[in-house]
Amino acid sequence: MNRSLAFIFVTVLIDAIGFGVVIPVFPQLIVKLSGQPLAEAAEVSGWIAFLYAGVQFLMGPVIGGLSDRFGRRPVLLASLAAFSLDYIVMAFAPTLWWLVAARVVAGITGATFPTAYAYIADVTPAEKRGANFGIIGMAFGFGFIIGPALGGFVARYGTEVPFLVSAGLAMANFLYGLFVLPESLPPAQRRLFEWRRANPVGALMRLKSAHPVVLMLAATVFVWTLSYQSLYSIWSYHGQLRYGWNPEQVGWSLAAVGVTGAFVQGFLGRKLIPRYGQRRIIQLGLVSAVAGYSTYAMADAGWMVYLGITVSACQGLVFPCLQGLMSAQMAASEQGELQGAVASIQSLSAIVGPPLMTTVFARFSAADAPVHLPGAPFIVSLVFVGVTALLFFRAMGRREAVVAAE
């Protein structure tokens, strides 16, 4: 790993730790502020995630355009500083509406990951981007090893403590970037900021006209992201309701997700992707996802969740490979715009996904449910994985036709 990639790895790692710290305690915070029982609090959480994603959907192309205009470094630093303040607000939120407002601000400034992808594209040859995009997944995986376990541990001292820890980590990340992180986009490769391209519709229309294969791959990303909204939306609630887990046990399960993700994306992916190609690795990831979601849906004991984590590990290679395929077809001055558009697409799936998954979870977990099946959201995820496969093979067929025509 070269110096620039090491810098961005540490930046994303610290950010992921801060993100992971608050996950085990978030259900308790929602219950506390809303006054609702756990199953109903999951629905409240889903609608907060809906609002957060809606803001990110609108702001993703704006942030991407700004990073193409002013460089990646200042956008990353502004985002990290805002996150630090935002976590403090969440820690001391006196009402649910304060928490909602804090999540809106987080959605506006949530530029870390799209900008990090653009940063890696800046410093990596096109043929190596799929493997190097996995570095972000590896950093996020290590963050999920440390963050949730740390969050579950410090939660015993109060629900506000994990948020304060995250605020401190975000500020440490800001200071690290301020003094250590170099700029990756030379002034000669920057472009003017244009509002007509700095919105979701404008960004996607440009992809449609200039890069039709990229647009089809972006549609694949949308459905793929929908498939794993069940993991983000109901993991903590599912573990606590179905297996009686406490926040610390939830934290350890997420740490296990981080261990497998870090290994697969940081080590295995860097070996397999150059050898077998991004297309075959995506197929492997889709099969892995089917195995994992099937296990989660039917697991009636906590230990079986860890089996699902193991068999689903290779699904973590799907997104970096899709990113690599898209990025290879874009110019250097368009990488921020691409990542902003992808961020909007992911946010759109996060608008639809959490309310869908949490509603399905609440309906099938309720005492009067026609069928008691708390794992129902994972069955929904299986359907989305199937649609992802269909879209991906169609995009690859279109890509081959374009290459043949040239």
Q: Which of 99-103, 234-238, 334-338 has the lowest mean pLDDT?
A: 334-338
Model pLDDT, residue 208: 65
Tell me which residue has tokens 């230990």: 303
pLDDT tens, residue by residue, 31-77: 888 777 776 777 777 777 778 777 877 777 788 778 888 888 898 88
Residues 6+ apart with CB under 8 A from 158: none
Q: How far, CA to CA in Å, does 335 sit from each of 119, 129, 169?
A: 8, 12, 28
Distance CA 99, CA 120 (A): 33
Q: Which residues contact 160 (CB under 8 A, 6 or more apart)?
A: 91, 92
Residue 179 has what pLDDT? 86
Q: What tokens does 398 get?
A: 């279109």
Which residue is it, tokens 């993700």? Answer: 261
The three-state secondary structure class of 102 is helix
Residue among 365, 316, 359, 286 nearest 130 (CA) = 316
Instruction: Encode 19-51: b = buried (16+ Cβ within 10 Å), e = exposed.
Output: bbbbbbbbbbbbbebbebebbbbbbbbbebbbb
Q: Give the amino acid at 245.
A: W
- The mean pLDDT value for 164-189 works out to 84
Residue in 362, 363, 142 with CA at minimum distance from that of residue 263: 142
- Integer Cα distance of 143 and 8 in angstroms: 13
Within its chain, how far is the Cα of 126 from the centroid? 22
Range from 119-133, 174-188, 283-297 that averages highest in pLDDT: 283-297
Whole-number pLDDT of residue 207: 65
pLDDT of 120 reads 82
pLDDT at site 289: 94
Closest CA to 44 of 288, 347, 358: 358
Please report the sign of the dihedral spanned by the C-alpha atoms of residue 45, residue 46, residue 50, residue 52: positive
| 190 band by pLDDT with thresholds 50, 70 and 90 | confident
Closest CA to 113 of 319, 385, 363, 301: 319
C-alpha 265: how far from chain center: 14
Contact 357, 46 (CB under 8 A): yes
Spatial neighbors of 101 by CB under 8 A, at least 6 apart, are 89
Express each pLDDT in 367-376 by its tens digit.
777 788 888 8
Question: How far apart are alpha carbons 243 and 192 in whole angstroms?
Answer: 53
Looking at residue 203, its pLDDT comes to 65
| Candidate from 90-94, 128-132, 179-183 with smallest mean pLDDT | 128-132
pTM of the model: 0.70
First to last CA, the chain: 35
Q: Which amino acid is at 272?
A: L
Residue 92: count other Cβ atoms within 10 Å of its Cβ: 11
Say if CB 348 and CB 222 are below 8 A apart: yes
Provide the 3-class DSSP secondary structure of residue 180. Answer: coil
Domains observed in the chain: 3-179+198-405 (1.20.1250.20)
Q: Please give the pLDDT value at position 311.
A: 93
Average confidence (pLDDT) over 170-193: 83
pLDDT at 288 over 90: yes
Q: Looking at residue 117, what is its pLDDT?
A: 78
- What pLDDT, on the 0 to 100 scale, is given for residue 281? 93
